[in-house]
Amino acid sequence: MNSSLASVTPIPARPADDGRLEQWRTFLAGKIDPSWREDEWDGTSWLFTGDLDNPRTAAYRCRTPECLSVLPSPHSRCQFCREALRDSGLNEAEFEASYRRDPQRYLVYTRPSQCIAGIKGDRCRRSAASRGLCRSHHARWHRVFRRDGLANTDEQLVEWAAGVPGLDPAPSCIVGGCPLDGVVSSGLCGTHYERWKKAMSQSPQPVPAETWALTAVPYLTGAQFSLAGLRPVVRLEMLLGLQQRDAIAGRVVPRVMRSLATRLTGFASLILGTTEADVMQAIEGQTNGLYFCGQTLHYLRVAFDEFNGIDPTQRPVWDVAALGIAAATN
């Protein structure tokens, strides 16, 4: 027996009928650990939000104090901070003590603030959308200042807002993981509503907002990735790969996963009805992604053997990792 790590027999490509695909999906679902990384993984919305203090997650704060960027490598600066340091003429210590990055200028995502409307003790519990007001209070303010002849200034707006009742929280956007308020009849936030309308303008047939939302993804920070946009079986295949790698101390790299989740959207499965070459071609040029997918395909072939009732010890070449056998060392 060869003591080095060997691959199981590759799976030949063949059309995957819906029944077999569903059987494979059910089998994979039974292999998934539902308690995996409970502080980071939301299995309901298929959203991973990395803990920046977890050494097993490759997501790190920019070394510039108060910068909100998240990077895939530690002790480094984001591009904007590097450029600002270069242009400042300051040394690093002086720069870090004085520089404040403007999130609006550089499009750094921050969660919307709370609406400022509400009598003391009855603050509005909805997200601010415009000029510090939620959409409902902003629309109400427009009616008030026009009706009563008020000046549409920030001072008048703030004074008016302090004397009106707050509102209860609005339902969240129906896109999994989206923190914004659902503000239209479709249940989508304003951003996802515009994306849905654009998608519908390019679709040969209408898709209800509720159906479209199932595969839509929220805005993702540098510490996040979403598998929601993948087909149901591929979601589970990728998640199994993540969990198997995690078991051997492999780090989760959100940036790599975001790229893979975009490139693999056309696959119904990474095993059934396709070949390893097809998968690798789809992610060509993504070095870390190729490595992750290579490992994931290996784990999936092992699982596929189990799915088909194949005893791994009956293979001409044994997969020592799958069998839990330590490789011999000299």
Please enumerate, as own/partner, the contacts of 1-5 that have beta carbons within 8 Å and a separation of 24 or more. 1/318, 2/317, 2/318, 3/320, 3/327, 3/328, 4/320, 4/327, 5/319, 5/320, 5/321, 5/327
- Please tell me the predicted confidence (pLDDT) of residue 121: 82
Residue 175: pLDDT band (50, 70, 90) is: very high
Per-residue pLDDT at 11 exceeds 60: no
Quote the percentage of the chain above a pLDDT of 90: 58
Q: Which residues contact 48 (CB under 8 A, 6 or more apart)?
A: 37, 40, 41, 42, 224, 225, 226, 227, 252, 254, 257
Tell me, what's the pLDDT at 192?
92
**pLDDT for 100:** 79
Q: State the average pLDDT over residues 66-89.
A: 89
Average pLDDT over residues 199-227: 91
Torsion of CA 10, 285, 243, 247, to 10 degrees: 90
Q: Residue 30's pLDDT is what?
A: 96
Average pLDDT, the chain: 86
At 110-156, the pLDDT tens digits run 667 889 999 888 899 998 888 999 989 999 999 998 898 888 999 99
d(CA 164, CA 159): 10
| Of 2-6, 68-72, 285-289, 297-301, the least confident | 2-6
Q: Is the dihedral of CA 139, 186, 168, 130 positive or negative?
A: negative
Q: What is the mean pLDDT of residues 224-243?
A: 96
Task: Give the residue-averaged pLDDT of 85-95.
Answer: 92
Choice among 56-60, 73-77, 317-321 with the minimum mean pLDDT: 317-321
pLDDT the model gives residue 227: 96
Confidence of residue 313 (pLDDT cuts 50, 70, 90): low
Residue 325 CB neighbour total at 10 angstroms? 12
Asked whether 47 and 224 are in contact (CB, 8 A), the reply is yes
Rounded Cα distance between 130 and 135, Å, is: 7
User: pLDDT tier at 200 (50, 70, 90 boundaries)?
Assistant: very high
Q: What is the mean pLDDT of residues 257-262?
A: 94
Phi, psi of 60 (to 5 degrees): -135, 150
Is there a contact between 103 and 78 (Cβ–Cβ < 8 Å)? Answer: no
SS percent in the chain: helix, strand, coil, step 5: 40, 5, 55
Q: How far apart are CA 188 and CA 183, in angstroms?
A: 6
Residues forming a β-bridge with 70: 61
Name which of 7-16, 42-51, 249-258 the model is least confident about.
7-16
Distance in angstroms (rounded) separating the CA atoms of residues 61 and 76: 8
Give residue 320's pLDDT band: very low, low, confident or very high (50, 70, 90).
low
- pLDDT value, residue 35: 95
Please give the pLDDT value at position 325: 54
